[in-house]
Amino acid sequence: MKACIIYSSVTGNTYQLAQEVYDTLSASIEDLDYVHVDEIDYDQLLNYDFIAIGTYTWGSGDLPMEMEPLFDWFEEQSPKHLRTAVFGTGDSFYPNFCGAVDLFRDMLYVKTTLTVTLKVELMPQSHDIKKVPTFCDRLMPEPVYS
């Protein structure tokens, strides 16, 4: 099985969450890539069995600018066989908490096999970290972590 975690982060919150996802997944997936969204090799993306996307939210519930090309790629490719998951961090004082996760969710549900989403407020806390194994299990065809 071949999997990839793609993330974007400015102040480190989403990065931290991505690290947790990485640490958990790496226990059972040997072929696991972990890339910043700016470093994606788009030619390789279709070779993955599953992809987890990590994004913060910007503007008013918008995707960060650097996430746009990835979003567009899914729209164009429609890789329906691909299992996907989205996680993100945001701030619930904004009207669209983790709006970027919702934008990905609604699109990935149509274009891919969306398995799970996870929203976290700012830097992950212990109750968030506890959800990561379940998140990873949903992404895999068979549960292994929880």
Partner 1 sequence: MSFTDTPLSRIKLLNPTYPNKATGVINGQNSGLLNWNDIAYPQMYDLYQTLLSNFWKAQEINMQDDIKQWDYLTETEKDVFLRINTQLASLDSLQTPTMTQVMDYVTDSSFKAIFAVISQQEAVHNESYSYILSSLVPLAEQNKRFDQAKEDPVVQKRNQLILDHYEAFREEPTPQKLYELAINSINLEGIYFYAGFAFFYHLARQQKMLKTSTMISYIQRDEMQHAYFISQFIRILLTENPELNTDENIQYAYDTIDRAVQLEKEWANYILEDIEGIDLEEFHHYVEYLANKRFRQIGLDNYYPERDNPMAWIHVFSDEMMNETKSDFFEQKSRTYTKVSSSNGFDEL
- Residue 52: CB minimum distance to partner 1, A: 13
Q: Alpha carbon of 21 to those of 7, 33, 72, 75, 120: distances in Å?
A: 11, 12, 24, 24, 13
Contact pattern for partner 1 over residues 94 through 113, marking x by CB under 8 A: xxx-----xx-xxx-xx---
Q: Which is nearer to partner 1, 31 or 59 (CB)?
A: 59
Residue 8's Cα: distance from chain center in Å?
A: 9
Residue 117 binds: one of partner 1, ligand FMN, none (C-beta under 5 to 8 A by kind): partner 1
For residue 37, give the nearest of 1, 2, 78, 74 by alpha carbon: 74
Residue 52 binds: one of partner 1, ligand FMN, none (C-beta under 5 to 8 A by kind): none
Work out whether 20 is an interface residue with partner 1 (CB under 8 A): no
